Amino acid sequence: MSDVLVQSPVEKKPLLGKKERKLITDPLSDNNPVTIQVLGICSALAVTTQMKPTMVMALSVTAVVALSNLVISLMRNAIPPRIRIIVQLTVVSVLVILVDQILKAYMYDISKQLSVFVGLIITNCIVMGRLEAYAMGNKPFPSLLDGLGNGFGYGAVILTVAFFRELLGSGKLFGFKVIPDALYEAGYVNNGLMMIPAGALFVVACYIWVQRSFAKHLEEKE
């Protein structure tokens, strides 16, 4: 609750000031929901064998986080603190069902591929985490931006993971073959480890490794 925006009444603020821009950019790097806050790992392991479903998953989560942040932020003063989790869950599940139905209507194949994991967005810690940490104490517009930022941060990580898993695991990107046949004839073989969830853990670990070697200030002081 402490970081409520302080607004001076006279000064007219631009729509996307420094603070607002930070809401979007921070989750992409220094406050990434997956690599720094270690939230949403399960789905990062489960849906990232191919780029296409991963893309859809990233967009779905972004939509759910952003919209639920907005809705909860609008309702925040009316929610009794003792039942806030139930209220939050209700809002999130409505949004998830909406996303699920839209996917089923317009992208049936991908919806089948994602199977249970669309429904499991409800349990994605990023959603509840942002509601609790941000939307409950901030105005609707910053909350929306925060939701978008965290959705993008999540999407950036899972798309990177999916890129390597699909490239190394099946030699394709977005379903198109990118590794030339000549290489297979020379003895190259797709890496099966990338097709099982354990492979995703290694890719996420490498992502964190690279990120931390560039951003030294993230290292914990001993």
Give the residues lining the site for other proteins (CB under 8 A). 187, 189, 191-194, 196, 198, 202, 209
Q: How far is the CB of 1 from other proteins (least distance, A)?
A: 39
Task: Report CA torsion sign: 57, 60, 62, 65.
Answer: negative
Closer to other proteins by CB, 206 or 215: give it. Answer: 206
> Minimal distance in Å, beta carbon 214 to other proteins?
17
Type and span of the H or E element at 128: helix 125-133
Shortest reach from residue 163's CB to other proteins, in Å: 18
The amino acid sitting at 105 is: A
Residue found under tokens 């420094």: 18
Nearer to other proteins, 141 or 202 (CB): 202
Query: Could you identify the residue written with the tokens 């994602």?
Result: 114
Which residue, 109 or 181, is less far from other proteins as judged by CB?
Answer: 181
Closer to other proteins by CB, 97 or 198: give it: 198
Q: What are phi and psi of 176, to 5 degrees?
A: -100, 140
- Nearest alpha-carbon partner for 155 in 71, 21, 79, 43: 43
CB of 31 to other proteins, least distance (A): 24
Report the C-alpha gap between 216 and 212 in whole angstroms.
6
Rounded distance between C-alpha atoms, residue 37 and residue 127, angstroms: 13
Radius of gyration of the chain (CA): 19
Pick the closer one to other proteins by CB: 108 or 209: 209
Minimum separation from the CB atom of position 193 to other proteins (A): 4
